[in-house]
Amino acid sequence: MERDARVAAVAALAEPTRRRLYQHVARSPNPLSRDDVAGATGVPRPTAAFHLDRLVAEGLLDVHYERRSGRTGPGAGRPAKLYRRAEGTVDVSLPERHYDLAGDLLAGALSESSEAGGSPREVLDRRAYERGRELASGAARGRAAVLGVLETHGFEPREEGAVISLVNCPFHALAQAHTELVCGMNLRLLAGMLDAVEAGLAARLAPAPGRCCVVLEPVAATG
């Protein structure tokens, strides 16, 4: 889900009745109908239906239809509309973090290294670079495109003359605990993004308080 959609989904749960209905459906081992939910929670059926459908619209619940009588064909009745918790995960962090991306890269590198041999660090660097290119695929070319890609993925870019600094590190806690490993991974991820958009920029490690460990500079400035 896009960030605005995730924020809207979480905000939808601020309403107490809606949150209670969501929690009831989420804890059920089986999909529930509107009547099931209304009966179990004491919420009037029309109110329950309104909130359940709002939760579906926000991506928090999924719907499917099923004939509970077990009969088919004419006279079997209309299928019931059943609700269950959506498969996807909705999370919002401020500042934005992407620990799922870091975890996927780290686990993938370890798994590949164990199966195929080679240095886990080298595998991680390659996979991070490839993922960076994937994240920027389809973007336009040039500096403006770089800023858009970086903003989309939570880096909060800030232009400081010709240099672009990154106000936020999406892997902050991991980078604090495992600085060399995670900052190296981040460097290769950003290098892949830059190569994909062909903006004439290069990524360089430049740790400083209150920002990401990488800055982006015009290629000529890197020597």
Q: Mean pLDDT, consecutive 10-residue segments, the chain of 223 residues?
A: 82 94 96 96 96 95 82 66 91 88 96 92 97 94 93 94 95 95 97 94 93 92 47
Q: For domain 99-222, which architecture applies?
A: 2-Layer Sandwich (3.30)
Look at residue 1 in the predicted model and tell me its pLDDT: 57
Whether the domain at 3-85 and the domain at 99-222 fall into the same CATH topology: no
Beta strand spans in 109-208 (E): 157-160, 163-166, 201-205
The CATH number of domain 3-85 is 1.10.10.10: yes
Look at residue 128 in the predicted model and tell me its pLDDT: 98
Q: If DSSP codes are grouped into helix, strand and coil, which group holds residue 206?
A: coil
Q: Where are the domains of the chain?
A: 3-85, 99-222
pTM of the model: 0.76
Cα distance between residue 81 and residue 78, in whole Å: 9
Beta strand spans in 80-177 (E): 80-85, 157-160, 163-166
Look at residue 223 in the predicted model and tell me its pLDDT: 45
How far, in Å, are 4, 17, 18 from residue 10 at the CA level? 10, 14, 11
